């Protein structure tokens, strides 16, 4: 750190403070690891927070079985190289029921294979705290999220039970059956994440860099054919395009952008000058905003 | 409106400034300023924040496009409705979260700004106090037609209570008073008078129009009589709390780190002052001390760590120091407090209960409370306290607390970073109240007498007689008083600094 700390120095120190507060106050924490750029930064911050000690909690990846193959390879290599305690959990019951992101609405797929799977995994291992990489700048509904976000028994988020947070005091005392989600990167922005990756020379999944990849254009969005499960429909065809991803998730639900940014420097330059916010690339959000609400009202769930 | 003004508005509208391509990719901004906005919707708060985002920030083009395409106009004008940029946040208000604070981020070429938005409607005390506790600077918004009101006084009192030192009075809607200097000067004078009551280091009034953008980011040609800074100029100059942290070294220990070999490090963030290799540090609770032999980070060892830096300190001896300790120098250590008095903002819907079983959360300690009494309630308009035994949501309570065991606590006015507190419900874990320590004593029973008070008039006539009433000198006044108190306390004298008296500011109490 230089004499006058930069905004990245300050954000890093704040995140380290949050990691340490949570690790000290909760009995059995876990870090949610989704392999993307935010998780990469989160993991790096966790390592800094406890250096020279090893990260004192396991990582949990909720695998929907629909992640890009490059992501899984990256995940396994990172766990090996950094000596991490990695837990991979899949909702096999949901898979057996045939839930998938191609035939089902993204919201259903997400609910069963991500949300339900996460709750199952947290219950199975008895974790009382889960670190996540969510940021308040991601969307309006996150703008009011706490650093310590409390969940009632059954993982229910009760707005009346959210605790005010004052100064740097993080109150982690749990009521009976309560658990907590901890967001050390609450105050980071998308641009900070990329700047930090560049500054700290962090390795990220190659999908963030432009390359010729097999694609299908569907509903105006560019999808990558990562394996044979995604097939062109009538009028669609598989074409090679030079694409990259601004955000990573399940491959049939993640839109690519055409880009020539092949290096981390080019990606950062493109991001800093971007004219659209990153969530535009997530099909799942578009689906959820209206459709999910409607399904709820119809009593679908 | 003059032709001139229309012209300017047109130009601003067409050429919304945008950040240029960044030459240096790892462009690290010069710091972070947390900005609280206080005021009601009627004062034009959303429009002002929207205008700041529009004119000064790195807003994404899709967000700008949404505003342009909507066709929504600011009332009575042909200008885009900038308050739309806050819409997402406003809608979320309906969620019913107990304490509502929305966070929004934007960058200017030199700084990161974090807008902390707390609702200005009724029952706002706890929301505002909670938001203000994170703020480096607060914008208090008033309508030029109404001027300083009762609510403005309450806002200032809450800001002062939680330690905000920089306050801007944004006198909005100057267009509706014909850009009148007289109107502004009157409001500015009222504001000055009001601020004498508080410990602000810098209180500045700026005449502006959020709708038209005058003095927000561009100097106003409608108010050529105003020679001061624009809002954004002033904000960019405002230092953050961490950069203004005092010189007294404090290091609340969060955890003990071990590498499985010979490293045993005390993990924490320096909250004020600094520490360097070779310094002897003390834990006021156990009286244990040791010399710092290593300041470890993953990026390499440091020779010195300053306020805001998160590090791990290795000492030359294996002292029994763990989470809850606050490391300091031997000369200026926090009090190993057994009893204390504090001012609390009551956050919980549940009223005070003497038998509830509260815990006291300090920097990193959680201590059982053996006895807690409410002594009085603070009136935010007069700053006078009245006796009370009970309190409830949105009250400012003066409480006297005896602890089950000692905890390292500072007086907030002197060392704010380690003088903040939370009351925690031991059963539910809920945060009941947030507060600041006003006096702390190591003795189990506070002596009724023997509490030495540093009187303001004594200080003014002696030690501080070279000082004027300017904001800079008032800051210096407090700095000197704090230093004297710290020295006296180190010598074992229980001491308090007389709070600023309620000043008869000549304002109509019915305002």
Per-residue pLDDT reduced to its tens digit, B211-270? 999 999 999 999 999 999 999 999 999 988 888 888 999 999 999 999 988 899 999 999
What's domain B245-328's superfamily in CATH? Translation factors (2.40.30.10)
pLDDT value at residue A93: 93
**A51 and A157 share a domain?**
yes
What's domain B3-243's superfamily in CATH? P-loop containing nucleotide triphosphate hydrolases (3.40.50.300)
B88-107 residue pLDDT tens: 554 444 444 445 788 989 88
B16 touches chain A (CB under 8 A): no
pLDDT value at residue A289: 39
**A182 and A71 share a domain?**
yes
Token pair for residue B135?
Answer: 């703020």
Decide if A264 is inside a domain.
yes
Which carries the bigger pLDDT value, residue A297 or residue B498? Answer: B498
pLDDT value at residue B1: 39
Strand B310-315 versus strand B420-425 pairing type: unpaired
**A41 and A184 share a domain?**
yes
Q: Where do we find the tokens 């019915």?
A: B510
**A207 and A82 share a domain?**
no
**A129 and A225 share a domain?**
no
**pTM of the entire predicted model:** 0.85
**A219 and A182 share a domain?**
no
CA angle B81, B87, B88 (to 5 degrees): 150
Decide if A197 is inside a domain.
no
Give the range with max mean pLDDT: B44-48, B145-149, B302-306, B447-451.
B302-306
B26-34 mean pLDDT:
85
Decide if A70 is inside a domain.
yes
Which own/partner pairs from B391-394 qualify as long-range (CB within 8 Å, at least 24 positions apart)?
A: B391/B344, B391/B346, B391/B351, B391/B352, B392/B346, B392/B351, B392/B352, B393/B123, B393/B126, B393/B346, B393/B347, B393/B348, B393/B349, B393/B351, B394/B123, B394/B125, B394/B126, B394/B345, B394/B346
The DSSP bridge partners found for residue B452 are B495
The DSSP bridge partners found for residue B307 are none
Separation of alpha carbons B307 and A155, rounded Å: 37
Give the residue from chain B lying closest to A201, CA to CA. B26
Q: Residues B285, B409: contact at Cβ < 8 Å?
A: no
Is the Cα torsion angle B369, B375, B381, B383 positive or negative in sign? negative
B298 touches chain A (CB under 8 A): yes
> Taking 60 as the threshold, does the pLDDT of residue A294 lie above it?
no
Q: Residues B101, B130: contact at Cβ < 8 Å?
A: yes
Beta strands in B199-303 (DSSP E): 202-207, 251-258, 264-269, 274-276, 280-283, 289-296
- Spatial CA neighbour of B107 closest among B46, B217, B179, B19: B19
pLDDT value at residue B499: 62
- Chain A residues within 8 A of B25 when measuring between CB atoms: 195, 198, 265, 268-269, 272
Separation of alpha carbons B342 and B398, rounded Å: 6
Give the residue from chain B lying closest to A141, CA to CA. B92
> On the CB side of A116, how many CA atoms lie within 13 Å of its CA?
15
Q: Is A175 close to B429, i.e. CB distance below 8 A?
A: yes
pLDDT value at residue A271: 80
> On the CB side of B214, how many CA atoms lie within 13 Å of its CA?
26
Q: Which domain covers residue A231, as residue numbers?
A: 203-297
Residue B427 buriedness (CB in 10 A; 0-12 / 13-18 / 19+): exposed
Separation of alpha carbons A260 and A95, rounded Å: 36
Which carries the bigger pLDDT value, residue B110 or residue A214? Answer: A214
Taking the mean position of all CA atoms in its chain, how far away is CA A166? 27
**A61 and A182 share a domain?**
yes
Q: Which residues contact B237 (CB under 8 A, 6 or more apart)?
A: B229
For residue A56, give the CATH number of its domain: 3.40.50.620
The DSSP bridge partners found for residue B145 are none
Taking the mean position of all CA atoms in its chain, how far away is CA B182? 31
Instruction: Say how many Å lie between the first and final Cα of chain A, rounded.
Output: 51
pLDDT value at residue B260: 86
Q: Got the DSSP string for B287-321?
A: --EEEEEEEE-TT--BSEEETT-EEEEEESS----
Separation of alpha carbons B312 and B259, rounded Å: 12
Q: Which residues belong to CATH 3.40.50.300 in chain B?
A: 3-243
Q: Where do we find the tokens 């509208």?
A: B13
- Spatial CA neighbour of A111 closest among A253, A225, A11: A253
Per-window interface: B 128-167 vs A, CB < 8 A: 129-130, 133-134, 162
C-alpha radius of gyration, chain B, whole number = 24
Compare CB distances from B258 to A49, A53, A276 and report the shortest one's residue: A53
B262 touches chain A (CB under 8 A): no
In the DSSP assignment, the letter for residue B74 is: -
- Chain A residues within 8 A of B268 when measuring between CB atoms: 20
Q: Got the DSSP string for B316-358?
A: SS-----TT-EEE-SSS--EEEEEEEEEEEE-SSSPP-TTS-E
Separation of alpha carbons B456 and A184, rounded Å: 43
Per-window interface: B 328-367 vs A, CB < 8 A: 347, 359, 361, 363-364, 366
**A85 and A152 share a domain?**
yes
| Confidence band of B358 (pLDDT split at 50, 70, 90) | very high
pLDDT value at residue B497: 73
Give the residue from chain B lying closest to A135, CA to CA. B103
A26-46 residue pLDDT tens: 999 999 999 999 999 999 999
Q: Is B103 close to A265, i.e. CB distance below 8 A?
A: no
**A208 and A183 share a domain?**
no
Separation of alpha carbons B394 and B127, rounded Å: 9
Q: Is A143 close to B28, i.e. CB distance below 8 A?
A: no
**A219 and A184 share a domain?**
no
Q: Which residues belong to CATH 2.40.30.10 in chain B?
A: 245-328, 334-446
B30 touches chain A (CB under 8 A): yes
Cis peptide before A52 (omega within 30 of 0): yes
- Chain A residues within 8 A of B103 when measuring between CB atoms: 136, 143-144, 186-187
Q: Which of A131, A161, A191 is the last residue of a domain?
A: A191
A124-165 residue pLDDT tens: 999 999 999 999 988 777 888 899 999 998 888 877 778 999
**A117 and A222 share a domain?**
no
Encode burial over A229-242: b for 16+ CB neighbours within 10 A, e otherwise: ebeeeeeeeeeebe
Decide if A198 is inside a domain.
no
- Spatial CA neighbour of B173 closest among B16, B54, B1, B17: B1
B263 touches chain A (CB under 8 A): yes
The CATH architecture of the domain made up of B334-446 is Beta Barrel (2.40)
Separation of alpha carbons B456 and B499, rounded Å: 8
CB pairs under 8 A between A and B: 202
Decide if A174 is inside a domain.
yes
**Optimal mutation site among B416, B419, B429, interface A, most CBs of chain A within 10 A:** B429
The DSSP bridge partners found for residue B360 are B367, B423
B388-415 residue pLDDT tens: 999 999 999 999 999 999 999 999 999 9
Q: Give the closest-approach CA distance of B21 to chain A in angstroms.
A: 6
- Chain B residues within 8 A of A9 when measuring between CB atoms: 28, 308
- Spatial CA neighbour of B199 closest among B463, B466, B497: B497
Give the residue from chain B lying closest to A21, CA to CA. B254
Token pair for residue B27?
Answer: 């462009």
**In chain B, % of residues over pLDDT 90:** 55
Separation of alpha carbons A291 and A154, rounded Å: 25
Q: Residues A213, A241: contact at Cβ < 8 Å?
A: yes
Separation of alpha carbons A269 and A267, rounded Å: 5
Separation of alpha carbons B334 and B319, rounded Å: 18
Q: How many domains does chain A have?
A: 2
Compare CB distances from A166 to B60, B243, B434 and report the shortest one's residue: B434
- Spatial CA neighbour of A199 closest among B297, B28, B58: B28
Q: Which of A158, A191, A224 is the last residue of a domain?
A: A191
Q: Residues A46, A19: contact at Cβ < 8 Å?
A: yes
Which carries the bigger pLDDT value, residue B30 or residue B135? Answer: B135
Separation of alpha carbons B126 and A274, rounded Å: 38
Question: What does residue B172 show for φ and ψ, rounded to 5 degrees?
Answer: -90, 165
**A55 and A184 share a domain?**
yes
B120-178 residue pLDDT tens: 665 678 889 999 999 999 999 999 999 998 888 889 999 999 999 999 999 999 999 99
ipTM: 0.89
């Amino acid at each position: 750190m230089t004499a006058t700390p930069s905004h990245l120095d300050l954000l890093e120190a704040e995140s380290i403070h949050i990691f340490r507060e949570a690790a000290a106050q909760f009995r059995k924490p876990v870090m949610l690891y989704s392999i993307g750029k935010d998780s990469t930064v989160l993991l790096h911050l966790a390592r800094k927070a406890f250096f020279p000690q090893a990260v004192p909690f396991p990582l949990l990846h909720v695998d929907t079985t629909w992640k890009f193959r490059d992501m899984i390879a990256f995940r396994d290599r990172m766990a090996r190289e950094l000596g991490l305690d990695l837990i991979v959990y899949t909702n096999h019951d949901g898979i057996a029921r045939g839930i998938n992101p191609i035939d089902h609405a993204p919201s259903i797929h997400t609910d069963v294979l991500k949300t339900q799977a996460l709750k199952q995994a947290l219950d199975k291992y008895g974790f009382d705290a889960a670190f996540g990489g969510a940021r308040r700048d991601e969307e309006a509904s996150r703008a009011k999220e706490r650093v310590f976000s409390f969940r009632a028994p059954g993982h229910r988020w009760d707005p009346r039970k959210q605790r005010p947070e004052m100064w740097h005091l993080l109150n982690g005392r749990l009521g009976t059956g309560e658990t907590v989600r901890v967001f050390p990167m609450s105050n980071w922005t998308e641009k900070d994440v990329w700047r930090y990756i560049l500054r700290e020379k962090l390795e990220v999944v190659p999908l963030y860099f432009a390359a010729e990849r097999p694609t299908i254009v569907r509903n105006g969005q560019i999808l990558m054919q990562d394996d044979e499960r995604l097939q062109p429909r009538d009028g669609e065809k598989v074409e090679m395009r030079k694409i990259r991803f601004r955000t990573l998730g399940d491959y049939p639900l993640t839109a690519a952008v055409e880009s020539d940014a092949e290096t981390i420097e080019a990606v950062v330059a493109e991001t800093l000058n971007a004219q659209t916010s990153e969530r535009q690339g997530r099909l799942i959000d578009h689906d959820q905003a209206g459709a999910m609400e409607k399904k709820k009202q119809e009593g679908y769930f | 409106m003059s032709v001139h003004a229309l012209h300017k508005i047109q130009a601003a509208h067409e050429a919304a400034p945008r950040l240029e391509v960044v030459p240096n990719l790892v462009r690290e901004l010069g710091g972070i300023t947390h900005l609280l906005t206080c005021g009601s919707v009627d004062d034009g708060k959303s429009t002002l924040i929207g205008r700041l985002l529009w004119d000064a920030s790195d807003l994404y083009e899709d967000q700008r496009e949404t505003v342009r395409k909507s066709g929504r106009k600011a009332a009575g004008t042909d200008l885009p409705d900038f308050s739309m940029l806050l819409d997402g946040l406003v809608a979320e208000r309906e969620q019913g979260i107990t304490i509502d604070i929305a966070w929004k981020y934007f960058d200017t070429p030199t700084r990161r700004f974090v807008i902390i938005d707390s609702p200005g409607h009724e029952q706002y005390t706890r929301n505002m106090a909670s938001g203000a506790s994170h703020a480096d600077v607060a914008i208090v918004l008033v309508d030029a037609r109404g001027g300083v009101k009762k609510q403005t006084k309450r806002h200032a009192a809450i800001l002062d209570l939680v330690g905000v030192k920089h306050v801007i009075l944004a006198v909005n809607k100057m267009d509706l008073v014909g850009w009148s200097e007289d109107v502004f000067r009157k409001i500015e004078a009222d504001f000055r008078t009001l601020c004498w009551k508080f410990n602000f280091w810098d209180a500045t009034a700026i005449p502006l129009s959020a709708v038209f953008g005058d003095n927000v980011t561009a100097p106003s040609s409608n108010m050529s009589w105003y020679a001061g800074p624009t809002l954004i100029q002033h904000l960019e100059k405002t230092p953050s709390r961490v950069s203004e942290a005092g010189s007294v070294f404090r290091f609340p220990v969060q955890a003990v780190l071990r590498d499985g070999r010979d490293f045993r490090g005390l993990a924490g963030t320096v909250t004020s002052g600094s520490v360097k290799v070779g310094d002897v540090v003390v834990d006021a609770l156990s009286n244990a001390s040791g010399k710092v032999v290593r300041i470890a980070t993953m990026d390499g060892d440091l020779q010195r760590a300053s306020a805001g830096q998160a590090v791990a300190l290795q000492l030359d001896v294996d002292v029994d120091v763990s989470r809850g300790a606050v490391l300091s120098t031997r000369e200026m250590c926090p009090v190993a407090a057994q009893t204390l008095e504090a001012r609390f903002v009551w956050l919980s819907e549940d009223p005070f209960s003497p038998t509830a079983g509260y815990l006291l959360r300090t920097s990193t300690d959680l201590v059982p409370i053996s006895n807690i009494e409410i002594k009085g309630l603070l009136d935010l308009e007069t700053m006078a306290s009245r006796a009370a035994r009970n309190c409830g949501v949105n009250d400012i309570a003066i409480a006297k607390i005896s602890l089950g065991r000692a905890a390292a606590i500072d007086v907030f006015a002197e060392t704010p970073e380690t003088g903040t507190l939370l009351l925690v419900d031991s059963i539910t874990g809920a945060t009941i109240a947030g507060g600041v320590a006003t006096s702390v004593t190591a003795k189990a029973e506070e002596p009724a007498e023997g509490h030495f008070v540093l009187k303001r008039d004594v200080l003014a006539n002696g030690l501080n007689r070279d000082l004027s009433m300017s904001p800079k000198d008032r800051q210096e006044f407090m700095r000197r008083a704090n230093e004297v108190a710290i020295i006296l306390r180190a010598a074992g004298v229980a001491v308090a600094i007389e709070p600023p008296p309620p000043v008869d500011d000549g304002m109509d109490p019915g305002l």
